Chain A
Amino acid sequence: MRRAFEFVAGCARLVTRGNRAYFAWLAVLGVAIAIGALGYAHQFRTGLIATNMRDQVSWAFYVGNFTFLVGVAAAAVLLVIPAYVYEWGPIKEVVILGELLAISAITMCLLFILVDMGRPDRFLHVIPLLGTPNWPRSLLTWDALVLNGYLALNLAVVLHILWKAYHGEHYSKRVVVPLVLLSIPAAVSIHTVTAFLYNGMASRPFWNASILAPRFLASAFCSGPAVMLVLFQVLRRYAGFPIKDEAIFKVAELMAYAMFVNLFLLGAELFKEYYSATEHLRYTQYLWSGLGEHRALVKYAWTSLACSVVAFVLFLVPRTRRSFVTLNLGCVLIWVGVYIEKGIGLIIPGMTPDTLGEIYEYTPTFTEWSIAAGIFGVGFLVFTLLVKIAVPILQGSFRARGAPAPDADPRAPLAASAH
């Protein structure tokens, strides 16, 4: 008990100390969270009428953000595969950071679902034993299952490795290796199940295409690592993480391949829609060229495509891939491109025109933007605090009293734990 208390106190010390940039960052997140809380208070009082969703477009911005973040959560952990295959030195660090990002992303996913619910007070109705989950028929129950399972899995691995490192011990391979191996199919499953949630709706031809799940995975392989690449550089600079340039460039190269697959699948979809030109083409048209005066999404669609194509080229050409300026630019472009593509670019055209042919043009309200800002604030805060605690533990500067002292070279324990 006392040990746990010491640990918590130590963590509190870690997160309350930092330089000016750290506190400025926390302040920014605090403001975002406050705005989100005010927005949600308004929505809770008036109902979802505070959004621009209506019967015609009954899922929109919140569900789009949810979809994007599921991809981020999935792909962060999938980085374990290349880290292992290419024998990067600090595989443990890659795993931990990927899982911390996954934990934060899943937190945001669950919050986006919560704010989208008409009756969040009844969430117990989905819980086994307490409620009546419509499992296995309803894909949403599957999604709840895999998302929470994935969250638990990541928490277990992270807590185990950090707790052991905190006591100066090596983590148990018998615990960690199977769990990490399990987290790879779990990461694939959360994104696949989320794709199936839309994919299974025969009433929405835009989603009812079997290419949806593969496209989800391809785009997730771009957006998740984009965050990780930036993070690697930050940690390398400020926390002395021994991540080699080669590893970063390798991830960028893999992202180029993933983006190629994503763009190829997009092309396959566009060909099928435009060449066959059935009435199902209308959804695709609404996204790319608008229907009559209804053109709300067109600028987003082309922005997304432009970002993705430019990022693809930047990551494909070795010279731009190996320059940190263009590499980071590519990361930002991918983030923007996939955010639009998997967010509003997927959800809104699925519902416009609606099932009776009506065109209701949806754009998010200020309340929706503020709630989304608040949720991203919570997610980034969770991630920041987790990293702030995890890094000193991994580096050996935050240890339990009486634990073996870290080696003289702070990088040594990292290297030693590589394989």
Chain B
Amino acid sequence: MTERRSLPVLQDGDPGREPDCEAAATPPPGMSRRTFLRTAAAGAGLAALTACNVEEMLRKHLHQLSPEELQALLRRVERKNSERFGRAVTVSAEGPRPGVEFGYGLDLSRCVGCRRCVYACVKENNQSRRNPQIHWIKVLEMDKAHGVDLVHADAYYEAETVPRPGHFYMPVQCQQCRNPPCVKVCPTKATWKEEDGIVVIDSDWCIGCRCCMSACPYGARHFNWAEPQLPASELNPQTHLLGNRPRPKGVVEKCTFCIQRTRRGLYPACVEACPVGARKFGNLLDPESEIRKVMETKRVFVFKEELATQPHFYYFYAT
């Protein structure tokens, strides 16, 4: 068994590269549109469902699957989710691109605390909408008098208008650490860091022990305490196996820098949603990228640097 540390790295010319996030029911590579629709629409009977569960139980770790087995897995997850939501769902396992290491910048002097990023993320990434609602981004309201100080942080501020006088706002999400404590503690290798720096979870492999939640210094990991409530009408049908595909009850989930978007060259949903341009994103290995420009012209810092997690997520004050 050879262990890979990432999904297979995409080479130029691989299928599924077009940045086409609106067309919801794009057939996944290697499957004709008709086959796909037929599978999705017809659904499978009880027998197929049972077979599916047994298959799931006997499944190997993602890193041990052959390309054919991976394709079969993708089709199976597509079929299952299409049935569950009564809509065509695509599941991709698009790998990291060579020469890409993602970096994120957040301008604390621009953020106004409107939480549009929070809800854009919920919508894009198929989080549970209620009982309980899951947010991958937490916006902390802080006192200007105290600076960045968690003792005086409030994630539950309610305001007619933001920013409120005397306060500033610090959104926190997965910092995609280069040295992720959550990955180290996972007993089943259900979570790992991909080559482009994104820390992912295979929600089929997670046993729900929540060691990673204890280990994460940023509160970035969230558990499905109950069956996630995701109405079919609100589903984002274009999903990634390690990202926004709907999760079951009893497993951990997290921000993946919108892996389903960013690996296709799109911005994460939170970057697009930000009305004040506080969020920057790009390839750290590309000197011309937005994030590199930020790091060149501003002074950045990382959150809880004393823990040596070395995040791919940088905060800065642009003004």
Decide if A119 is an interface residue (CB 8 Å cutoff): yes
Q: For chain A, what secondary structure do more than half of its interface residues adopt (helix, strand, loop), or is it mixed? A: loop
> Contact: B150 with A356, CB < 8 Å?
yes
Out of A58, A200, A358, which one reaches B185, CB within 8 Å? A200
Q: Measured between C-beta atoms, what is the minimum distance from A88 to chain B in Å?
A: 40
Considering the chains assembled together, what is the distance between the CA atoms of A113 and B208 in angstroms?
Answer: 11
Given A126-B187, A356-B219: A282 touches B151 (CB 8 Å cut-off) = yes
> Contact: A354 with B185, CB < 8 Å?
no
> Contact: A55 with B219, CB < 8 Å?
yes
> Contact: A116 with B216, CB < 8 Å?
no
Decide if A49 is an interface residue (CB 8 Å cutoff): yes
Considering the chains assembled together, what is the distance between the CA atoms of A201 and B222 in angstroms?
Answer: 17
Considering the chains assembled together, what is the distance between the CA atoms of A114 and B249 in angstroms?
Answer: 16
Q: For chain B, what secondary structure do more than half of its interface residues adopt (helix, strand, loop), or is it mixed? A: loop
* Number of A residues, CB within 8 Å of B: 49
Q: Measured between C-beta atoms, what is the minimum distance from B56 to chain A in Å?
A: 9
Q: Measured between C-beta atoms, what is the minimum distance from B166 to chain A in Å?
A: 18
Out of A54, A119, A124, A139, which one reaches B250, CB within 8 Å? A119
> Contact: A118 with B214, CB < 8 Å?
no
> Contact: A351 with B214, CB < 8 Å?
yes
* Number of B residues, CB within 8 Å of A: 48
| Of A67-75, A130-138, A244-252, A302-310, the one touching chain B | A130-138
Decide if B140 is an interface residue (CB 8 Å cutoff): yes
Considering the chains assembled together, what is the distance between the CA atoms of A279 and B138 in angstroms?
Answer: 21
Decide if A53 is an interface residue (CB 8 Å cutoff): yes
Decide if A2 is an interface residue (CB 8 Å cutoff): no
Q: Which residues of A contact B138 (CB under 8 A)?
A: 356
Given A279-B151, A357-B153: A117 touches B207 (CB 8 Å cut-off) = yes
Considering the chains assembled together, what is the distance between the CA atoms of A123 and B226 in angstroms?
Answer: 19
* Most B C-beta atoms less than 10 A away, residue of A47, A124, A141, A354: A47
Q: Which residues of B contact A126 (CB under 8 A)?
A: 187-188, 207
Considering the chains assembled together, what is the distance between the CA atoms of A354 and B140 in angstroms?
Answer: 13
Considering the chains assembled together, what is the distance between the CA atoms of A316 and B222 in angstroms?
Answer: 48
Decide if A144 is an interface residue (CB 8 Å cutoff): yes
Decide if B217 is an interface residue (CB 8 Å cutoff): yes
> Contact: B217 with A202, CB < 8 Å?
yes
> Contact: A118 with B216, CB < 8 Å?
no
> Contact: B226 with A47, CB < 8 Å?
yes
Within 8 A of A (CB), among B245-285: 248-252
- Contact surface of B with A, Cβ cutoff 8 Å: 57, 61, 64, 131-132, 138, 140, 150-153, 155, 172, 181, 184-190, 205-211, 213-219, 221-227, 248-252, 307
12 pairs across A/B with beta carbons < 8 Å?
A: A56-B219, A122-B188, A133-B188, A134-B189, A137-B184, A140-B185, A198-B214, A201-B215, A351-B214, A355-B217, A356-B150, A356-B153
